[in-house]
Amino acid sequence: MSSTDNDAGRTSQAAALMDQVYRHQRHIYDLTRKYYLLGRDRLIDRLEPPVGGTVLELGCGTGRNLIAAARRHPAARFYGLDISAEMLETARANIARAGLSSRITLACADATTFDAEALFGRATFDRVFFSYALSMIPPWREALAAGYGAVAPGGVLSLVDFGQQERLPRWFRTLLLAWLARFHVSPRAETAEAVAALAEARGATASGGPLYRGYAVWAELRRPPVA
């Protein structure tokens, strides 16, 4: 079996799992997640795309972040992809309801193997971001690398996700991890290490750190401009 066949099989399995998990959850996802997906709006505020710029979210889910970002940055164009067709159905409805269908384009794809040119007619974006998505992607390092590969020269890759709760009570961490496991979510202890390694390998500038006493972690990778 070729590597392409392996990738296609992995994508199909992941898509089926996410559709199963969120087939019903997607209807109440935003209502429940706003209480513990902390740092999303901070990331959106920090995007600051250039006038006429482009922004891609990997793992866009219900479209909540894309809608907020499009409102916060009205001079930019937005794109989102997700592996779950069920989530994208909700996202399209939410975006249409918000009156933003002309500024937000969606596609169903795997964040680890996507072809932005084929999906959106453009290969790179001024801003690319993950919001609580890497913890749901088993080959998350591949997704991180693919995300950086879609960043235009001088652009920025941003992420926010669950941290290790290092400054929070142990009982809180135990309960949170048990709850997240029900939805196939695994906080990545090596996020900072992976971001630093990717920055070094690609000549990028990295920044980041914990948020909210370690509840969340954020990072940004700035791609060098063309010399």
- Please list the pLDDT of the chain residue by residue as tens digits (227 residues): 454 545 544 455 644 545 555 554 544 444 445 545 789 999 999 999 999 999 999 999 999 999 999 999 999 999 999 999 988 999 999 999 999 999 999 999 999 999 999 999 999 999 999 999 999 999 999 999 999 999 999 999 999 999 988 888 888 888 888 888 887 888 999 999 999 999 999 999 999 999 989 899 999 999 999 87
Q: What gap in Å lies between CA 143 and CA 134, rounded to an integer?
A: 7
The residue among 123, 132, 82 whose CA lies nearest residue 106 is 82
Given a contact cutoff of 8 angstroms between Cβ atoms, the answer to whether 159 and 216 are in contact is no
191-199, long-range: CB within 8 Å, 24+ apart, which pairs? Answer: 191/134, 191/159, 191/161, 191/163, 191/217, 191/219, 192/217, 192/219, 194/140, 194/141, 194/144, 195/144, 195/159, 195/219, 195/221, 198/144, 198/145, 198/148
Residues forming a β-bridge with 125: 151
Given a contact cutoff of 8 angstroms between Cβ atoms, the answer to whether 62 and 29 are in contact is yes
Region class of 96: left (phi > 0), else alpha (psi between -120 and 50), else beta: alpha
The residue among 34, 48, 122, 23 whose CA lies nearest residue 81 is 122
pTM: 0.84
Given a contact cutoff of 8 angstroms between Cβ atoms, the answer to whether 43 and 215 are in contact is no
Q: In order of start, what are the domains of the chain with their CATH numbers? A: 3-222 (3.40.50.150)
